[in-house]
């Protein structure tokens, strides 16, 4: 295994341990169940899922290291001539009980491509973190974005605005003309260029991964004990439906996992346990629900 693959694989496993410990401590009741799985064709992963906690209704934090032949469908989709691939990454989605606590998603990954002779012909980093609130607290949105900006700024002041814009563009439900949430950062195909080596991009990706807990945990602590009604819960489940739609219709990571014979249970761990699709639901003008929708339809900057 190359030095880059080895170092990043160790990083994602350590980050998985740190995040799982922190979320268990925060919840106080639920514990992650761990599964190890093997992928037909090469590699496997370590999936951890918690359910029915005091704070978290469902949470999944998984790592995988997979390799093998590149499926023809993905070769066409990625416009690559590579024959074999290697991919390692960490992916997580946390769904809270309380509708005033946002759902959060993060993914950080490294990918390599090889020719028929087994020589590396390409390699890049990707990832990002985004927040999906059901009720909008601008204080939380600013904190989440500021934490990611601080981590990104250490590697260049141009990176946060660049990847914030990409996040708004990527996590967009085209068939609904609205964002999945209030964004964060999203980046992909980070390859060596005139300003950055592959090591630079590795350092950046790892620092962005480390920013997850300080970006999310304070929000959970602020909102976890707020009282909520059945109506709040109903709205949460409607919005979760939009979350599912994005993951199954648009998400490239889900497509990659399913097309490369990844473990289906681990790939779909991101789906919430309770969700609804009522026919043509409407929101009343002036409500907190309508306020959220306005921001989802018109993404905004959260940092002055």
pLDDT in tens, 188-227: 999 999 999 999 999 999 999 999 999 999 999 999 999 9
- pLDDT tens digit string along 178-199? 999 999 999 999 999 999 999 9
> Is pLDDT at 290 greater than 80 in this prediction?
yes
The two structure tokens encoding residue 99: 């509708």
- The band of 1, judged by pLDDT with boundaries at 50, 70 and 90, is low
Q: Give CA 72 to chain center in angstroms.
A: 26
CB distance 44 to 38 below 8 Å: yes
Q: What percent of the chain lies above the pLDDT cut of 90? A: 82
**Options 3.40.50.10860, 3.10.290.10, 3.40.1500.10, 3.40.50.300; CATH of 3-297:** 3.40.1500.10
Strand 120-132 relative to strand 183-190, pairing: antiparallel
Report how far residue 13's alpha carbon sits from residue 139's, in angstroms, rounded to the nearest whole number. 31
Quote the percentage of the chain above a pLDDT of 70. 98
How far apart are alpha carbons 221 and 239 in whole angstroms?
A: 22
> Angle at which helices 3-27 and 212-223 pack, to 10 degrees?
10
The answer to whether the beta carbons of residues 23 and 17 sit under 8 Å apart is: no
Residue spans of the domains in the chain: they are 3-297
Sign of the C-alpha dihedral, residues 132, 136, 140, 144?
A: positive
pTM: 0.94
Strand order in the sheet with 84-96: 33-38, 43-51, 56-69, 84-96, 103-114, 120-132, 183-190
Residue 96 is given by DSSP the state: E
The span from the CA of 297 to the CA of 182, in Å, is 10
Answer yes or no: is pLDDT of 259 > 90.
no
- pLDDT at 253 exceeding the cut of 90: no
**Are the C-beta atoms of 191 and 123 separated by less than 8 Å?**
yes
The residues annotated as belonging to the active site are 105
């Amino acid at each position: 295994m190359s030095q880059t693959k080895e170092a990043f694989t160790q990083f994602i496993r350590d980050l998985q341990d740190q995040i799982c410990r922190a979320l268990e401590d925060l919840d106080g009741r639920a514990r992650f169940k761990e599964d190890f799985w093997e992928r037909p064709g090469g590699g496997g992963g370590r999936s951890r899922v918690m359910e029915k906690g005091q704070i978290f209704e469902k949470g999944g934090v998984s790592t995988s290291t997979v390799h093998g032949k590149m499926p023809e469908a993905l070769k066409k989709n990625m416009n690559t001539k590579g024959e074999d691939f290697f991919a390692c990454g960490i992916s997580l989605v946390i769904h809270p009980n309380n509708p005033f606590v946002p759902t959060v998603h993060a993914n950080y990954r490294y990918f390599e491509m090889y020719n028929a002779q087994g020589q590396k012909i390409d390699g890049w980093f990707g990832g990002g973190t985004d927040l999906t609130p059901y009720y909008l607290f601008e204080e939380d949105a600013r904190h989440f974005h500021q934490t990611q900006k601080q981590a990104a700024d250490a590697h260049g002041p141009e990176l946060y605005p660049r990847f914030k814009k990409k996040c708004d563009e990527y996590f967009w439900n085209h068939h609904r003309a609205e964002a999945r949430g209030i964004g964060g950062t999203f980046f992909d195909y980070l390859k060596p260029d005139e300003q950055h080596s592959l090591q630079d991009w590795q350092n950046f990706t790892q620092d962005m991964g480390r920013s997850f807990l300080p970006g999310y945990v304070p929000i959970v602590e602020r909102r976890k004990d707020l009282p909520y009604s059945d109506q709040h819960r109903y709205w949460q489940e409607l919005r979760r439906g939009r979350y599912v739609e994005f993951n199954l219709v648009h998400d490239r990571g889900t497509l990659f996992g399913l097309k490369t014979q990844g473990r289906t249970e681990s790939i779909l761990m991101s789906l919430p346990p309770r969700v609804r699709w009522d026919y043509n639901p409407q929101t009343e003008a002036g409500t907190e629900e309508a306020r959220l929708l306005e921001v989802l339809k018109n993404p905004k900057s959260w940092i002055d």
